[in-house]
Structure 1
Amino acid sequence: MFIFYIYQLVKIYMEYMLKTPSMCSISLLFSRNHPTQWKAKIKMRSIIAEDPNWSLDLVPSLSTLCQRCIADTVEEKYLFEKLPPELKDSIQSRLSLSLPLHVTADLVPDGLFWKRSCQQRWKICDISQYDNSWKRMFFERHLENLIELFIPEETEFKVILDALALCKNYVKRLNITQLLLPSRKFVKGRDDDQHEVATLANEEEDDPSTCHFDFAIVLAELIHLEELHLVYTIKQCGMNFEWTMFQITDRDCRALTIAFKGCKALKVLRIRQSQIDDKKCRPLLRCLMDHPTLIELDFAHNILRDGGARSVAELLSKGRLKKLNICNNEIDVHGAKILAQALSNNSTLRYLNMRLNQVRDEGGQAIVEALENNTTLTYLHLGGNDLTSLTAVVLSRVLLKNDTLKTLNLSCNSLGEVGGKALAEAMVQNSTLTECDIRQTDIDEMNAASINKVIWDNQCADAEKQNHDVGILVRLDGKDNNKSIMK
């Protein structure tokens, strides 16, 4: 009977905590007919457990208590390291996110703890961009934030060094979207001080403070770094706007040339929207001539012009580039001819994007004619280059011979009826081109429809070929497995 009264007291307390008290339960406690009324009331009530982990066990199991103890004392590494993998996963859900990085960096493997850490710091977490590794995402974005907020002459470089010691084994890509300059350079005073500000601007070349963040030490430590994306700009400059905030300096270029020498695993280099001209790109590309692993170069939306195109052509003739993006760089006819000559002798490049330049017909014809000798290029973008029907006619002759080009973009050029007719006639005899963008080219509907029909037929034939190749590989794998089983 004593146990029954205790149960009723607990029940009344739970009802009070849930703010849904039942007065009949109080009367039930003092009623003489306990069993009958208790059974009647229990049928009228139900318990809904909103917590999927809720349990009737009032005392946690010994295993749970041990996991809690280990999670609270994770800094004693010898306990955590001896656990089996399934228990490590369970403890990761209990670890505090305020633990210092020097404890968790090498101790906690990729898993739930790093997922929680990423989701706490950033709203958007696309793990597919980081080889499905939460730990890699955390350390890459952590280091990126430190570099983007680094202010020369003010931020201590020890902050970067401490982070490097923890991040270097997990960082494969750095995507830097802004680089700050010394704040004193942009402090504007009275009219009396304008002469001093102008003097500072004139002495920019000799003043080391005008340099952005120095990547030399960082790239030397990041032994697994494969991709480097840089934009020399400032996102929120406010009323202190100056054009110098949005360009790379000569001193920055010299610093990068030194930094690239220590980055032996670099495969992709992107420096966009940074006002790189022919003078600044020359030392950058010269140091990349003999780079052992670089396969992709992206200098889009800069001002390379013809002088920069010459440096790019030298890299094409000596390097191992497979992908090159130099769109919107004010490259003219002369620069296009130099690139065409390098392209005709190149045997590694597969992707070339030259849209939004001014190569015109003379430069466009030179690039197209280079495809007669080139047997590796599969993607070519010449959109928005002031091309006319003259280039289209030359291209139609090349398409009869070239059997490697698969994607061609000619959008935003005035090819006209003549150019459209020449391309349509050539496409009938081409079986490799599977994508051809001819939007905004003034090609008439009949020729455009003819070109698109051939493209569709080529896509279907290519898909059938791929399916056939896959079927052959599957059959060969099956035969090899059968042989190994018989042995």
Structure 2
Amino acid sequence: MARYPGATAEDGRRLRRVIAEDQDWSLTLVPYLSKLCLQSIVRNFEEKPIFQDLCPSHKDFVQERLSTSLPLHKTANLISDGVYWKRCCEQRWDICDLSHYGHSWKQMFFERHMENIIELFIPDVTEPKTVLEMVPLCRNYVKKLNISQLLPPIKEPPKEEEEEEEYGSEFASDNEYSGPSMDHFDFNILLNKLTSLEELHLVYRVKQCGMNFEWKMFEMTDRDCESLAKALMSCKTLKLLKLHQSHIEDKKCRLLVKHLLDHPSLRELDFSHNLIGDKGARALGKLLTRSKLQTLNMCDNDIRGPGAKAIAHALSVNSTLLSLNLRLNWVRDEGGQAFGKALLKNNTLLHLHLGANQVTGPTAIALSKVLIQNNTLKSINLSCNNLGADGGKALGEAMSLNNSVTEFDIRLTEIDEQSASFIDQLVERNQSLEQKRQTGKSKTKFTPPTFL
């Protein structure tokens, strides 16, 4: 019936309303069923993970709400790269520069997670399964490892002299400590399993040793070297190896090189800031003849004339090396002149750094002959050497006939001001020519033939 005079039954039906017992209830607050289902998926993800069958918008909804503390074996191979891994990274680390990780949040998370595990690994204390359990979860995402420290075993406390005297030498020998099984993390258990690894940066050191400082905390031992060498040989995808500041001398260098000979993918090798001398340099020369290295960095070592000559001899027959850095060694004119002769035959090397090597005028004269004949070199660094006025004059005359060198560092070389200024002008000329060549290449476009 109508509720007021004159109203029809039809009007009454139109005016009907549902009066809720909850005064705050509103139709607009009722969530969609799909949203309720997604919330249920988020709450129960650990027990029943559902992700791949969702549409893209629903996947985004789940990634934005999943707990970042979920076990990795539930999420690693299920949750694709995106918001979830971004949240995981930003929660753990203050600085997250995505450009260093292929612009992938997932790659960043697993590379840094694996690095943390290795850097905190203590031989004979940390279980190897801690590392090995991660391999099936991260092998597809770890492309680079940057290990900034490697911890040694926990040092056993020395036995007191009084205790030894009390129990006698026989009893003490029965309890003699045999030593740790490894001196640092054993890479031989890991590298061959990381099937996407392309770069490995290593430093054998302890970052925060405090009052427990010992020199052996900052060096690779013989056992470490043997283990790493075998591991490198088994890692067929490795393109870059950087092993610096680890007190590597000739013996260790030769062992490492022995296992890197004929490596199928290695392109960059950095042994800078170590103790490698002539014997190690000779091994590196052999490596240049049996590898496809493009970059070799031996900065700040102990390579002298004979070692430099071995590398130069290899360079004369090498056709792959693009960059050679021997800064802060002791090659002197014996090695400098050898490089001059080698570069008369080499047409591949682009960058040569002989800064701070005690080379003098004879080396400058040898390299001036290279500048006249070689049109491949792009940059030469001879800074912090005593080239003298005659060396500067020879280099200036040669540069007037060269149009390929666009970087030439001759600071602190005792070259007279006039020669130095002349060389700088010629370098600027070559830079301008190179820019015009590059501009011409970019403007040159392929015009398809017109068919009538």
Shorter-chain TM-score tier: 0.7 to 0.9
For the 8 Å contact 2:153–2:180, the answer to whether it is kept is no
C-alpha displacement of 1:373 = 0.4
1:268 aligns with 2:240: yes
The match for 1:293 among 240, 256, 265 is 265
What does 1:458-469 correspond to in 2, within 5 Å?
Answer: 458-469=430-441
Equivalent residue, structure 2, for 1:168: 139
For the 8 Å contact 2:41–2:49, the answer to whether it is kept is no
Equivalent residue, structure 1, for 2:187: 215
State the distance in 1 between where 2:59 and 2:411 align. 56
Seen in structure 2, the aligned counterparts of structure 1 residues 210 and 105 have a Cα distance that, compared at 3 Å, is closer
State the distance in 2 between where 1:191 and 1:336 align. 52
What does 1:377-416 correspond to in 2, within 5 Å?
Answer: 377-416=349-388
State the distance in 2 between where 1:117 and 1:140 align. 13
Equivalent residue, structure 2, for 1:307: 279
C-alpha displacement of 1:117 = 0.7
TM-score, L = length of structure 2: 0.87
The match for 1:453 among 425, 439, 452 is 425
Equivalent residue, structure 2, for 1:79: 50
Once the two structures are superposed, residues 39-94 of structure 1 have per-residue CA deviations (whole angstroms, 9 ceiling, x without a partner) of xxxxxxxxxxxxxxxxx954444443333222222336663211122321232111
1:278 aligns with 2:247: no
2:342 alignment partner AA: A
State the secondary structure of the residue aligned to 1:316.
Answer: helix
Equivalent residue, structure 1, for 2:335: 363
State the distance in 1 between where 2:192 and 2:42 align. 35
State the distance in 2 between where 1:193 and 1:471 align. 85
1:115 aligns with 2:86: yes
Equivalent residue, structure 2, for 1:137: 108
2:214 alignment partner AA: E
Deviates more, 1:128-137 or 1:456-465: 456-465
For the 8 Å contact 1:188–1:240, the answer to whether it is kept is no
Deviates more, 1:124-133 or 1:78-87: 78-87
2:149 alignment partner AA: Q
Seen in structure 2, the aligned counterparts of structure 1 residues 193 and 231 have a Cα distance that, compared at 3 Å, is farther
Equivalent residue, structure 2, for 1:437: 409
State the distance in 2 between where 1:157 and 1:392 align. 54
For the 8 Å contact 2:140–2:195, the answer to whether it is kept is yes
Task: Show structure 1 runs of 4+ deviating over 4 A.
Answer: 187-194
For the 8 Å contact 1:375–1:404, the answer to whether it is kept is yes
The match for 1:331 among 278, 303, 307 is 303
Seen in structure 2, the aligned counterparts of structure 1 residues 193 and 426 have a Cα distance that, compared at 3 Å, is farther
Deviates more, 1:169-178 or 1:439-448: 439-448
State the distance in 2 between where 1:123 and 1:57 align. 40
Equivalent residue, structure 1, for 2:321: 349
2:422 alignment partner AA: S
For the 8 Å contact 1:77–1:107, the answer to whether it is kept is no
Gaps of 5+ in 2: 1-16, 18-22, 170-175
Equivalent residue, structure 2, for 1:103: 74
State the distance in 2 between where 1:241 and 1:188 align. 17
TM-score, L = length of structure 1: 0.81
C-alpha displacement of 1:168 = 1.1
Seen in structure 2, the aligned counterparts of structure 1 residues 78 and 113 have a Cα distance that, compared at 3 Å, is closer
The match for 1:183 among 144, 154, 163 is 154
State the secondary structure of the residue aligned to 1:183.
Answer: coil
State the distance in 2 between where 1:314 and 1:162 align. 38
Once the two structures are superposed, residues 412-467 of structure 1 have per-residue CA deviations (whole angstroms, 9 ceiling, x without a partner) of 11222222222112111110001111122222332222111111121121122122
Deviates more, 1:66-75 or 1:253-262: 66-75
The match for 1:156 among 115, 127, 133 is 127
State the distance in 2 between where 1:85 and 1:130 align. 24
State the distance in 2 between where 1:179 and 1:414 align. 40
State the distance in 1 between where 2:144 and 2:289 align. 27
State the secondary structure of the residue aligned to 1:431.
Answer: coil
1:344 alignment partner AA: S
State the distance in 1 between where 2:199 and 2:28 align. 52
2:145 alignment partner AA: L
For the 8 Å contact 2:380–2:408, the answer to whether it is kept is yes
Q: Which protein has the bigger helix share?
A: 1
C-alpha displacement of 1:207 = 4.7
Once the two structures are superposed, residues 294-330 of structure 1 have per-residue CA deviations (whole angstroms, 9 ceiling, x without a partner) of 1111111111100100110111111111110111111
Once the two structures are superposed, residues 343-387 of structure 1 have per-residue CA deviations (whole angstroms, 9 ceiling, x without a partner) of 111111111000000111121111122110011000100011011
Seen in structure 2, the aligned counterparts of structure 1 residues 123 and 188 have a Cα distance that, compared at 3 Å, is farther
Seen in structure 2, the aligned counterparts of structure 1 residues 193 and 302 have a Cα distance that, compared at 3 Å, is farther
Seen in structure 2, the aligned counterparts of structure 1 residues 469 and 97 have a Cα distance that, compared at 3 Å, is same
For the 8 Å contact 1:180–1:233, the answer to whether it is kept is yes
1:73 alignment partner AA: N
For the 8 Å contact 1:177–1:233, the answer to whether it is kept is yes
Equivalent residue, structure 1, for 2:5: none
- Root mean square deviation of aligned Cα: 2.7
2:222 alignment partner AA: D
For the 8 Å contact 1:173–1:226, the answer to whether it is kept is yes
Pairs aligned (count)? 420
For the 8 Å contact 1:307–1:335, the answer to whether it is kept is yes
Deviates more, 1:457-466 or 1:306-315: 457-466
State the distance in 2 between where 1:137 and 1:226 align. 14
Gaps of 5+ in 1: 4-8, 11-55, 197-202
2:65 alignment partner AA: R
2:151 alignment partner AA: L
State the distance in 1 between where 2:423 and 2:198 align. 40
